[in-house]
Amino acid sequence: MDTPLIQTVLIPALQVLLVIAILPLGIAYLQLVERKVLGFMQVRLAPRRVGWHGLLQPIADAVKLLIKEDIVPDKADRFLFTLAPIVTVIPALAGLAVIPIAGAPFTLFGYTVRPFITDLNVAVLYLLAISSLGIYGIILGGWASNSKYSLLGALRSSAQMISYEVPLGFAIIGVLMLSGSASMVEIVNSQKTAHVWYILPQLVGFFCYFISAVAETNRVPFDLPEAEAELVAGFHTEYSGMKFAFFFLAEYTNMIVVSSIATILFFGGWLRPFPNAAGSAWLENGWLFFTPLILLGFVGWLVDQKAGTGLNGMFTGLAAGAVLGFLLGRFDVGGLASASVPVLSGAFWFSLKVSIFLFVYIWFRGTYPRYRYDQLMSLGWKWLIPLSVLNVLVTGIAMVLFG
């Protein structure tokens, strides 16, 4: 094969395969993290039977879902019932195509690899369009199940999506005005030239965006479509086995996509904190320091939960991680520090920010009760939409006055 063909076809195809292969595993472990964090918030231990501190639980769950009987209700519309999970999961995965995890392309085996699958110049619009497609799967699934709970869940979901799509779009407009581009890469680069993450000028926009995003992904406190207390399991009541797993995959992929958009638009994407300050240049290699710090701190925390030793384990882990990370950076083990790979640094900061968002999702789930249906509607229409429109207005005026 000649080089251009490999460059333009094979490498993006491999990237797509990589995303599709790694994502379900990552989501399985995200689910474990969710169960752990929820458990700790409720002062209990969470999964601990499979593997050390339950670390193999996601594998066991995946195997269980794969070999479970795939039940289709008698009176369900078989075709739409099968179609619904697919329609839900494809837009969710497609959204990942425009998410850049780092800025600059890098060279691997002589080929240029870009740290994103594609860089659309209308990426934000594309994401908005794709994310609203996912609702079709939910509506189809709810209707095709021929069950009252599923249908109610699907109806709530569609109403919710219609209400929250609007503030979601308006909240992003402020960032688009500031950066003057709708391409993800350009938006992050403009944050570098502006010397500030857009969270500061766009605090209200971010507020609106994040609340709408939580509602858009059907997560607590806006999880009315699946409201387990009222609707059994909402739109996926009748689903089992792999079809259920697909809905599950779609929900968590949507969470990741929405968190990535928040990171890119408001928190500088792959940029390190203070991207232009000379004093923070060491943060460029921050992943060498922070990765052991975070990992060992987390392990120590897990040990603490069982041993009941307060937080000694976590602090020991953090200290050990800090020392290890410092030594790694100081003595340049394996040439990692001097290599200064921008992709690794970018990927680290990007995934750290996304992880914080995902944690906030779980944190919300552990804290807030579900909104009532009319409260949900009035929050969307009476507060978020006016607020986000006002934000666009104020941003525009400020840009004319000070820009």
Partner 1 sequence: MATVTTAPRTAPGFKDFLKTVLLAELWVGLWVTLKNQFRPHITVEYPKETVELSPRFRGVPRLRFHPESGEELCIACHLCETVCPDDCIHIVSEKNPDGKGKRLVSFEINYERCCFCGLCVDPCPTKPLTAIYMSHDYEMADFKREGFVAPLKTLLDGIEPTTYKE
- If one asks whether residue 378 binds partner 1 (CB under 8 A), the answer comes out as no
Q: Does 35 bind partner 1 (CB under 8 A)?
A: no
Q: Under a CB-based contact definition with an 8 Å cutoff, are residues 36 and 305 in contact? A: no
306 lines the binding site for partner 1 (CB under 8 A): yes
CB of 60 to partner 1, least distance (A): 17
Residue of 111, 282, 368, 383 interacting with partner 1 (CB under 8 A):
368
Nearer CB in complex with partner 1: 80/356: 356
Out of 8, 18, 25, 42, name the contact with partner 1 by CB under 8 A.
Answer: 42
By CB under 8 A, name the one of 160, 202, 253, 305 that touches partner 1.
305
- The reply to whether 41 sits near partner 1 by the rule CB under 8 A is yes
Give the C-alpha separation, 62 to 68, whole Å. 10
Give dist(CA 41, CA 47) in Å, integer.
14
Residue ranges in 47-76 that form contacts with partner 1 under rule CB under 8 A: 48
Stretch that binds partner 1, among 173-181, 264-272, 278-286, 360-368 (CB under 8 A): 360-368
Please identify which residue in 170, 304, 329, 354 interacts with partner 1, judged by CB under 8 A: 304
Is residue 370 within the footprint of partner 1 (CB under 8 A)?
Answer: no
Regarding 311 and contact with partner 1 (CB under 8 A), the answer is: yes
Q: Are 103 and 342 in contact (CB under 8 A)?
A: yes
175 neighbors 198 (Cβ within 8 angstroms): yes
Which contacts of 23-29 are long-range, i.e. CB under 8 A and separated by 24 or more positions? Answer: 23/93, 23/96, 23/249, 23/253, 23/256, 24/62, 24/249, 25/58, 26/256, 27/248, 27/249, 27/252, 27/253, 27/256, 28/58, 28/59, 28/61, 28/62, 29/58
Q: Which of 202, 213, 60, 64 is nearest to 127 (CA)?
A: 213
Residues near partner 1 (CB under 8 A), total:
20
Binding window for partner 1 (CB under 8 A); candidates: 23-31, 34-42, 169-177, 335-343: 34-42
Which residues are at the interface with partner 1 (CB under 8 A)? 37, 40-45, 48, 304-306, 308-311, 314, 363, 366-368
